[in-house]
Amino acid sequence: MANIYTVDKGNTLAQEAGLARDLDRLMGRIVQYKAWIDTQTDQDLIDSGFIQAEVNLLRSAISDLILLETIYVGTATQSSLKDFRTFAKQLYPYGSI
Cα(83)–Cα(94) distance, integer angstroms: 18
**Could you state, in order of their start, the residue ranges of all structural domains in the chain?**
9-91
pTM: predicted TM-score of the whole model, two decimal places: 0.83
DSSP letter, residue 97: -
φ/ψ of 84, rounded to 5, equals -70, -5
Which stretch of DSSP H or E encloses residue 81?
Answer: none
For the segment 19-34, what is each residue's pLDDT rounded down to a tens digit? 999 999 999 999 999 9
**Structure confidence at residue 61 (pLDDT):** 95
